[in-house]
Structures are given as structure tokens and as C-alpha cells.
Amino acid sequence: MSAATQPAPAATRTDPYAPKGLALTLESTGAILLALIWVLPLAYAVWAAFHPAEYTTRFVLTAPLTLDNFTRAWAAAPFARYFLNTFILVTLILAFQIVLGTLAAYALARQDFWGRDVAFVLILAQLMIMPDALIVENYRTLAKVNLIDTIPAIALPYIASAFGIFLLRQTFKTVPKELDDAARVEGASPLQVLMKVYVPLAKPTYVAYGLVSVSYHWNNFLWPLLVTNSVESRPLTVGLQVFSSADQGIDWAVICAATLMTSAPLLVGFLLFQRQFVQSFMRAGIK
């Protein structure tokens, strides 16, 4: 394995520390092994979902394929409604998070005013005091205003996100001050400057943050479980749980079918756009 010891030709601009030869083989093997372990639950879900129930625990290559589990799952619970609820929920949350976050981040990044640092600390507090820790009090608040069992009730504690504000603030800070000044000289109001200069430049951050927010709220469980009681407001996760905790014990085939069904939009979305996502993270400077 001479290739491993020979230095890379200096002419091409390659990473001198990129592993080669045996090292690369070892590294690839390690990575693939770990990846296999990581993808195992998903692989199992696919297996169980597409095979009859008696094969859920037996891995026979000749097992017949079936879509029966999907039809059973679809019929067993109003998943169409749950999909709609989740879709409304994540859209609602993301829209508010972006609007509120953009305004706040702009103020924190580019306005110099009295009380800014205090405000920043108060906002950062939410990074630690996450809404999940405050379920008891938040439930009470929402009950007082008659919002229990509505989609806004699930969304409200999350629509101001310290994480989002923090990310956007960092991004806005990297926008050259000259661009800001130039726009102002042309007579743009602060809001116009924000919309014309800052927001377009922060696009990767929005994409990266959007991914995090959507996948988080698509999969969030505890809070929606507490504040929803009816099909009209229940998101997918809660619907999935209500449906899978039957008296009769666990039917993995149907649960796996339901799991694939409910995560399909996110999975497909990620498969299609994964390169863009990683690049957004990179360009968003989330590092």
C-alpha cells in the first residue's frame, strides 16, 4: 500500500489529510457499518410494513410482499385529518417563527438601543428554559383563554424561538454594514432595509432553520398530547400514539406502515433536497 505513504501531488489542490488507500478503506468500512446500524430501525420499518404480520419477526427473503398493512393503518385512524393538522401546525409555527424571529434578530443585530443586551439575555433564556419544561403552567394559561384542543394551542408556546432569533442575529451580523448604509442613503426605511438587504442574504439560514423547525414540530409529541383531545386538532404523532397503544398489544406491521406513512413527506423531502440542506447549514454559518 504505497499510495498511503506517498504525499499527494502538490499540483492539485486536494486536502493533504484526506485518507487514502487502506486508511480510506478502513474509514469507509467503519462509516458504512455505523450507517447500517443507524438505518436499521428504518430498514426494519420497511420490512415490517411491506410484509404480512407473521413475518414481522421473521426475516425470510421469500416472504410475500403486501400493501395490506398500509390499507389497514389508513383505515384504522383518520390519518388524512392528522396529516392536515400537522401540516397546518408546522406551517403556522414556521411562519410565525420566521416573522417574529426576523424582526427581533434585526433589532438585536443592527439597532443600538437602550436595553438591548437585557433583551438578548431574556431571549436566550428560552434556549435553556425550553417550553417542554413548562407544560403545567402553559396548559393552565391556554385553558384560561379557552384554547385547549386547538391547533394554535399547540403552536403558541413555540412561535417565538430563541434558537431562531439567535441564528438570524448571527447571520444578520455578517451582513456588511455598507450594504445597509447604501440602502438607507437611497431613502429606505429600516423595514425596507430589512426586507431588501438582510432577508435575501439570510436565505440559507432560513432554509436550514426551516428544516430544523419543521422536523422538530412534525415529530413533537408531549405537548400536543397534552393540549389536544380530538381528531380535529390532533397532529400525526399523537394520532399515531393513540392508534398504536391498543389493548390488544403491539401490531408492529401496522405501526411500521403508519410510521412510514407519517414520516414519508419528511423523508422524501430530505432525500430530494439533502445536498441543499447541508449546503444551507454550511452557508448559514451554523457552526
Determine which residue in the list 63, 84, 88, 147 makes contact with another protein, applying CB under 8 A.
147
The interface with another protein within residues 149-178 (CB under 8 A) comprises 149-150, 156-157, 159-160, 162, 165
Instruction: Determine if 41 is a binding residue for another protein (CB under 8 A).
Output: yes
- Calculate ∠ Cα 214-215-218, nearest 5°: 80
CA distance 230 to 217: 18
Cα 226 to chain centroid distance, Å, stands at 21
Our CA dihedral for 71, 76, 77, 79, rounded to 10 degrees, sits at -10
- Site for another protein contains 183 (CB under 8 A): no
92 is a site residue for another protein (CB under 8 A): no
Q: Decide: is 187 part of the binding site for another protein (CB under 8 A).
A: no
Q: What is the DSSP letter of 12?
A: S
- The least CB distance from residue 51 to another protein, in Å, is 14
Residues 217-256 as x/- pattern, contact with another protein by CB under 8 A: -xx-xx--xx--xxx----xx--xxxxxxxxxxx-x--xx
Does residue 287 interact with another protein by CB under 8 A? Answer: yes
**259 near another protein (CB under 8 A):** yes
Minimum distance from residue 217 beta carbon to another protein (Å): 11
User: CA-CA distance, 54 to 52, in Å (whole number)?
Assistant: 6
- Number of Cα atoms under 13 Å in the Cβ half of residue 251: 17
Which cell is 17 given?
489529510
Within positions 94 to 123, which residues make up the interface with another protein, using CB under 8 A?
99-101, 103-104, 106-108, 111-116, 119, 122-123
Residues 53-82 that bind another protein (CB under 8 A): 53-54, 56-57, 59, 76-78
* Per-residue CA distances from 106 to 94, 166, 184, 185 (Å): 18, 10, 15, 19
